[in-house]
Amino acid sequence: MKFNETKNLISVARLICEETGSRLTEKRQHVLEVLFKLNTPVSAYELTEHYNAIIGSPITPMSVYRILEFLEAANLVHRLHSINKYIICAPTFGPWKHHPPLFLICKSCQCVKKIELGNDMIETLSLLTQKHGFLTTGSQIELNSTCEICVSVTKKSHSSGEANG
Amino acid sequence: MKFNETKNLISVARLICEETGSRLTEKRQHVLEVLFKLNTPVSAYELTEHYNAIIGSPITPMSVYRILEFLEAANLVHRLHSINKYIICAPTFGPWKHHPPLFLICKSCQCVKKIELGNDMIETLSLLTQKHGFLTTGSQIELNSTCEICVSVTKKSHSSGEANG
DNA sequence: TATTGTTATGTTATACTGTATCAAAATGAA
DNA sequence: TTCATTTTGATACAGTATAACATAACAATA
């Protein structure tokens, strides 16, 4: 299955750029590759550090921000506003849809899980939001919740003798 | 209907505080009142300015942050992570539920609309997130979308001759 | 090949958002 | 009063993001 995912990613990215008349420059490509390697949400500054550690030529946070903005507009990167972090959004992570993805974000440890919503769900949500004068085109949903690990930790610290029922 | 909403808000807040053994101090009450007056999302620093403009005794952003944290824990304030802003979450805005509210947030103009989700929706979402190891207790959903005003503006600027069909 | 326009990056500064830390004040209980 | 706890004051600083202007790279055309 995982045949040369990076190359796949880059070629898709190149196609998208060609469509819009923009360029997939070396830096942009490198940012994509670093994000792909990390495969976890990182802040722009963290990304800068990783970039400078991995790639030969250095980059500044300012450039990283600009490139992230570009890649987000190209649907190649998700910006997780809730935690001020960025994560790759590559065709390698599933078929290329423009469904609004649902991001589960743990309030406590900030781990993230991306979920594809079913068509029913999408439909219902779209209608609901339209009814309130909003359009979900190209949008994304962030659900600030709690992951099971953090839930169990909290439980323990709050009442250490509690059974797991 | 709107009989003395501020008093109602404050008395409910007082009750909540009593339950947890904490205090609804003058500053906390003022912050609630200012947020209630504004009734729109504001940043902590904007809130500080408004506070200092409206209330006699001054307050610092640090205190505002602490009070916001306190009020959020008491379910009296929502923190909208997507836009780093805070909005009142008062019982005057509907029956007191612990359903996760859905916030529609315009990516463009950052206007916000709070929506109560139906029980079906909540149920489906809860199951879905549980299946992925997350719990939605006390959580909130932020949907980064586009409001109709900004949609029409964008349309116009992109293709000014387009009909409204 | 020069020229020009557009896109992308370099560079510096600065604004905005949020937390750490320690001291002081206010409150409540022993 | 004394003590512990909660709340606030005050300062500093960390982290996130953008503004502004200069330069470089690229493409198209004369």
**What's the CA gap between B140 and A46, in Å, rounded?**
27
Q: Which residue has the tokens 């963290």?
A: A46
**What's the CA gap between A47 and A86, in Å, rounded?**
9
Question: Can you name the residues that pair with A147 across neighbouring β-strands?
Answer: B134
Question: Per the structure block, which two tokens stand in for B10?
Answer: 């404050």
How many angstroms from the chain centroid is the CA of residue A47? Answer: 13
* Cβ pair A139:B143 closer than 8 A: yes
Question: Per the structure block, which two tokens stand in for B9?
Answer: 């808000």
**What's the CA gap between B136 and B159, in Å, rounded?**
42
Report the 10 Å Cβ neighbour count for B88.
23
* Cβ pair A134:B106 closer than 8 A: yes
When pLDDT is averaged across residues B127-150 and rounded to a whole number, the result is 87
Q: Quick check: B155 contacting A, CB < 8 Å? A: no
Chain B neighbors of A102, CB-CB under 8 A: 128
Q: Is the C-alpha dihedral spanning B96, B97, B100, B104 positive or negative? A: negative
* A-B contacts (CB, under 8 Å): 108
Using CA atoms, how far residue B4 sits from B1, B37, B152, B158, in Å, is 9, 13, 38, 47
Percent of chain B with pLDDT over 90: 41
**What's the CA gap between B136 and A148, in Å, rounded?**
10
What is the nearest nucleotide to B21, using C1' and CA? D6
Q: Per-residue pLDDT for A160 more than 80? A: no
Q: Per-residue pLDDT for B121 more than 90? A: no
Choose between A139 and B60: higher pLDDT.
B60
Question: Per the structure block, which two tokens stand in for A102?
Answer: 């649902």
Taking each helix axis from N to C end, the angle separating A26-38 and A44-54, rounded to the nearest 10 degrees, works out to 100
Question: Can you name the residues that pair with B134 across neighbouring β-strands?
Answer: A147
Question: Per the structure block, which two tokens stand in for A48?
Answer: 């800068």
When pLDDT is averaged across residues B153-164 and rounded to a whole number, the result is 42
Give the DSSP letter of residue A117. Answer: P
Rounded to the nearest angstrom, the minimum Cα separation between A162 and chain B is 18
**What's the CA gap between A154 and B135, in Å, rounded?**
13
Choose between B5 and A43: higher pLDDT.
A43
How many angstroms from the chain centroid is the CA of residue A149? Answer: 21
Question: Per the structure block, which two tokens stand in for A84?
Answer: 């001020």
pTM score over 0.95: no
What is the nearest nucleotide to B64, using C1' and CA? D8
Of B81, B104, B139, the CB nearest to A129: B104
**What's the CA gap between A137 and B146, in Å, rounded?**
8
Top-ranked range on mean pLDDT: pick from A73-82, A147-156, B93-102, B111-120:
A73-82
- Residue B20's pLDDT band, with cuts at 50, 70 and 90, is confident
C23 C1' to A98 CA distance, Å: 54
Contact positions of strand D to protein Cβ (< 7 A): 6-12, 15-20, 26
